[in-house]
Chains A and B, each alone.
Chain A
Amino acid sequence: MLRFAFKRLVSLSLSLVVASVVIFLFVEVVPGDPAAYMLGMNATEETLAALRDQLGLSGTLVERYLSWVGGMLRGDFGTSYTYRTPVSEMIGERLWISLPLALYALTLSTLIAFPAGIWAASKRGSVADVSVMGLTQLGVAIPNFWFAMLMVLVFSINLRWFSAGGFAGWESGFLPAMKSLTLPAIALALPQASILARVMRSSLLDTLSEDFIRTARAKGLTKRQALWRHALRNALIPVLTIIGLQFSFLMAGAIIIENVFSLPGLGRMVFQAISARDLIVVESVVMLLVFAVIVVNFAVDIAYAAVDPRLRVRG
């Protein structure tokens, strides 16, 4: 187990290094001088020089890369040009919206997908199964930002149950804050729940056709008992993989959904940074999101290996 974890840790570090190089080079290839690009045509020579210094643009490519990565490792993500505040501070504030939103959506998605998938699998071929599968087809095909707009139309404009956008702030209390994240979380969760329900169903159907389930039935368990006691646990592995992968889609999806609801999270910050040509912010936030995705997938791998010894050999 330790050897497996170590091997995975090496590959995790390697992925992070390569990802950071890719992101760094990306911003490096900005045609022309990044400082001039960020400041526009009317910049004076002094402000350009000052920004170049601030961006760490003096020195060789390798030196610049090392100072960027070294800074991030110390928690220093540079200083935003437009806001003139440390990027780490800006990320810190906005993370308290984006992260709860992603987790809220993940919880909703799991709460919808598990019962739906299990129900469909246990009633395979029935009307219930066909309806659940039909609904998931719709859920996969619906653009989530459009679904978000429709929810705003129905629940905010017509029924006035929720505000159409903005964030109440954690200081206004847990429930009001969660309430303002509810419609965004539903919009994010819907496509993910549809995919997850399909995976849950097909994984459960695969497991139900295995020999140990026949044995369980033969020793007198009812179909329902066999499903809950034996099949479900074994069907969970592919489902967990998908949940791990979905985290990255949720983080990226949040970027779009935050814009629909004007939530001041990381996603909105990225867009504002793009339009303000604040590349330090873009670079740092993208690196942070990629870091989160790689680490979550690493954690999922380790979690399986801990649960299922058969997976350790694959590495």
Chain B
Amino acid sequence: MTETGFLGAALRSRSLVLGAVLTAVFVLAAVVSFAWVPHDITSMNVPDRMKGPGGAHLLGTDHFGRDILSMIMVGARTSIAVAVVAVGIGMGFGVPLGLAAAARKGSLLDEVIMRGNDLVFAFPSLLIAIMITAVFGASALNAIIAIGIFNIPVFARLTRGAALSLWTRDYVMAARVAGKGATRISFEHILPNVTNLLIVQGTIQFSLGILAEAALSYVGLGAQPPLPSWGRMLADSQTMISIAPHMAIFPGLAILLTVLGLNLMGDGLRDLFDPKIRRVGR
């Protein structure tokens, strides 16, 4: 496919365009928040507390009089940072493990990796997070580790499955005949061919990471004050939901739209990378 053909197909995919736009909006909000936010959120502004949306505060203010739009922009940093690092942990460990397992299919290593994966799958990610925070204390860092650990088997399994079928291809056989070792083949010939799959799965895990971070922060096991986070904003709003519903509505919408954007982008990318798959949805 030519470059323009690829770009053209990308632009024709409605879910990809919508997803990319939504994602871009939140990434942009996070980036801009480093340089500028509509209102300072580090100080309290009691006279302006719990103002509804409109006027000087587009999305209203919280119980300390802080601007909700500004909080959402800064909170986007936390969500994105946690999700990016968690996906990074998952790929960083999972992909090499999956490649190794596929290169030595049926070996003890393969067996150990796959059984280890089964075990991590048996623990719902939230339970891992709860255990980690129970033992090491609640923090954004521990939330990242907890979500990241759960990502490892996802990427290991995906990589192994895709790599196994690539190992039977002629060009891999040619590389073996040429005397290349398993490690070199894995990185030079197998890895580049699973990249598309990894990008699609990465997008999905990214969105799951954002949901997980929000849930953990909501119950107080994730980001701690004063670090702003969408999940904590929702937790703060809960007791005030009857008098200031906007405090609950906007951070939740931010999570919903970001996750929706990433999922749509993942679906769109999958169709784009693999036009052979019938469009039957997940």
- A137 in contact with B127 (CB, 8 Å): no
Q: Please tell me which one of the listed residues A133, A153, A195 contacts residue B242 in the complex, with CB atoms under 8 A apart.
A: A153
Residue of A nearest to B212 (CB): A143
* Interface of B, helix, strand, loop or mixed by DSSP: helix
A201 to B263, CA, bound (A): 18
Decide if B74 is an interface residue (CB 8 Å cutoff).
no
Q: Please tell me which one of the listed residues A29, A152, A202, A289 contacts residue B127 in the complex, with CB atoms under 8 A apart.
A: A289
- B119 in contact with A22 (CB, 8 Å): yes
Smallest beta-carbon distance B277→chain A, Å: 11
Decide if A199 is an interface residue (CB 8 Å cutoff).
yes
Contacts of A142 in B (CB 8 A): 256, 259
Decide if A23 is an interface residue (CB 8 Å cutoff).
yes
Residue of A nearest to B19 (CB): A137
- A297 in contact with B256 (CB, 8 Å): no
A145 to B7, CA, bound (A): 38
Given A138-B260, A199-B282, A202-B280, check contact A256 B126 (CB 8 Å): yes
Smallest beta-carbon distance B222→chain A, Å: 12
A293 to B240, CA, bound (A): 36
- B215 in contact with A256 (CB, 8 Å): yes
- B127 in contact with A252 (CB, 8 Å): yes
The interface-forming segment of B25-33, B92-100, B130-138 is B130-138
Residue of A nearest to B135 (CB): A30
Contacts of B219 in A (CB 8 A): 255-256, 259, 271
- B255 in contact with A286 (CB, 8 Å): no
Contacts of B130 in A (CB 8 A): 255, 270, 274, 282, 286
Given A198-B281, A201-B280, A282-B130, check contact A143 B255 (CB 8 Å): yes
Residue of B nearest to A201 (CB): B281
- A27 in contact with B135 (CB, 8 Å): yes
Residue of A nearest to B132 (CB): A26
Interface residues on chain B, size class: 35 or more
Contacts of B52 in A (CB 8 A): none
Given A143-B215, A293-B124, check contact A202 B133 (CB 8 Å): no
- B248 in contact with A252 (CB, 8 Å): no
Decide if A150 is an interface residue (CB 8 Å cutoff).
yes
- B234 in contact with A146 (CB, 8 Å): yes
Q: Please tell me which one of the listed residues B211, B238, B263 contacts residue A149 in the complex, with CB atoms under 8 A apart.
A: B238
Decide if B206 is an interface residue (CB 8 Å cutoff).
no
- B241 in contact with A274 (CB, 8 Å): no
- Which has the most chain B C-beta neighbours within 10 Å: A149, A260, A297? A149
- B119 in contact with A141 (CB, 8 Å): no
Contacts of B282 in A (CB 8 A): 195, 198-199, 202
Decide if A290 is an interface residue (CB 8 Å cutoff).
yes
- B252 in contact with A149 (CB, 8 Å): yes
Decide if B188 is an interface residue (CB 8 Å cutoff).
no
A153 to B157, CA, bound (A): 41
A137 to B19, CA, bound (A): 11
Contacts of A55 in B (CB 8 A): none
- A149 in contact with B260 (CB, 8 Å): no
Q: Please tell me which one of the listed residues A133, A143, A255, A274 contacts residue B256 in the complex, with CB atoms under 8 A apart.
A: A143
A309 to B282, CA, bound (A): 26
Contacts of A137 in B (CB 8 A): 260, 263-264
Residue of A nearest to B125 (CB): A252
In B256-282, the 8 Å CB interface with A consists of 256-257, 259-260, 263-264, 278, 280-282
Smallest beta-carbon distance A253→chain B, Å: 8
- B124 in contact with A289 (CB, 8 Å): yes
- Which has the most chain B C-beta neighbours within 10 Å: A143, A205, A249, A251? A143
Residue of A nearest to B252 (CB): A146
Decide if A308 is an interface residue (CB 8 Å cutoff).
no
Contacts of B237 in A (CB 8 A): 149
In B209-229, the 8 Å CB interface with A consists of 211, 214-215, 218-221
Closest 5 CB pairs of A and B: A252-B124, A146-B252, A141-B260, A141-B259, A252-B126
Interface residue ranges, A against B (CB under 8 Å): 14-15, 18-19, 22-23, 26-27, 29-30, 133, 137-138, 140-143, 145-146, 149-150, 152-153, 157, 195, 198-199, 201-202, 205-206, 248-249, 251-253, 255-256, 259-260, 270-271, 273-274, 279, 282, 286, 289-290, 293-294, 297
Q: List 7 A-B contacts (CB under 8 A).
A: A137-B264, A141-B256, A149-B234, A149-B241, A201-B281, A202-B281, A290-B127
Interface residue ranges, B against A (CB under 8 Å): 115, 118-119, 122-127, 130-131, 133-135, 207, 211, 214-215, 218-221, 234, 237-238, 241-242, 245, 248-249, 252, 255-257, 259-260, 263-264, 278, 280-282
